[in-house]
Structure 1
Amino acid sequence: MMFKTHLAVGALSGLVILKFFHPEPAVIFSLLFLFASILPDIDTTKSFIGHKLWPVSSVLSLFVKHRGFLHSIWLPLVSFSFAAYFGYAMIGAAFALGYLVHILADSVTEEGVPLFAPFFMRRVRGFIKTGGTLEYVFLLCVCVMLGVTAASFY
């Protein structure tokens, strides 16, 4: 998925969580959730976040391939467990859920994601071509839902 799609899906998912679960502090939860929803693409310098944080992305791309380990479930699970153990479950949940939203969105693309890498490399994939017409239709639908959801707060 493209950066703008990940951002829109992250914003929509975050708003839905805010609406129904009222995590506190809401601003920190929202910002961390949104950041985590674009973070997995730091494994390539060609992504928005990889370009912005190119020193980190450049080093990471030497060790992991795009949509490899950083697109598996392990980092969000370990980070949540670690945060919860030290008494920061809400912060861990914001990061883990945002990160998982990114992985879920990429799982419907043709390239897919290896959910259990490096232990099991089979990819979960869908039929949406990244940057293709169907992704733009999906993005439009998400933006409409985002607008409706945001309006429901007022």
Structure 2
Amino acid sequence: MQSKTHLLTTFAIVTPVAYMTNNMDMLGVFGLALGTVLPDIDEPNSYIGRRIPILPHIIKKTFGHRGMTHTLIATILFATLASMIPNSFTEMLATGYFLHLAEDTFSMTGIKWLAPFSQKTLAFKLYSTGKMTETIIMFLMLICLCLEYWFILAQPFINV
């Protein structure tokens, strides 16, 4: 999944929960966005990979794309960070990271959640990255997000 689709999907999932719990500030928005694109640091041509000169090449050569950055271990690492430094940035960073992996699970190639302990790939095979199926998902998520924000913004008028 491309970064724009990851971002739209993650924000479409998190926005209603964040609104209902009144649990989102600008620091949280930044953390969610960063966490959403961070797992693809293992791909030099990804959104985040193009902005960091050398590290993505080293990670990809060492672990491969969708290697260690796309595992439950990496997710637990970010969740542990969030629990050690509890603030909206770290909590949303961990949330975005986890949702990125969940979204990649629906790709044709899936991910190896339990690596390095198991090489079994979990893939629900809903879309192929960069193909029409992903474009459809992206537009559906954009519509969902627009409707969610419309509802949030219209809320004061609905309750009158």
Task: Tell me whether the two structures share a fold, i.e. TM-score over 0.5.
Answer: yes
Are residues 123 and 89 of structure 1, via their aligned partners in 2, closer, same or farther at CA, if it must alter by over 3 Å? farther
The secondary structure found in structure 2 opposite 1:48 is coil
Give 1:23's aligned amino acid.
N
The answer to whether the 8 A contact 2:6-2:36 is kept is yes
Number of aligned residues: 152
The answer to whether the 8 A contact 1:80-1:93 is kept is yes
**Aligned-residue RMSD, C-alpha:** 1.6
Question: Aligned residues: percent identity?
Answer: 20
Deviations 1:7-32 (A, max 9, x none): 211222232232122225x1111110
Structure 2, unaligned runs of 5 or more: 154-160
Q: Which runs of 4+ in 1 moved over 3 A?
A: 89-92
The answer to whether the 8 A contact 2:31-2:90 is kept is no
Which structure 2 residues correspond to residues 26-105 of structure 1 after superposition, within 5 A? 26-84=25-83, 86-88=84-86, 90-105=88-103
CA distance in 1, matches of 2:122, 2:90: 25
Structure 1, unaligned runs of 5 or more: none
CA distance in 2, matches of 1:12, 1:54: 30
Match of 2:112 in 1: 114
The answer to whether the 8 A contact 1:40-1:70 is kept is yes
> TM-score by structure 2 length?
0.86
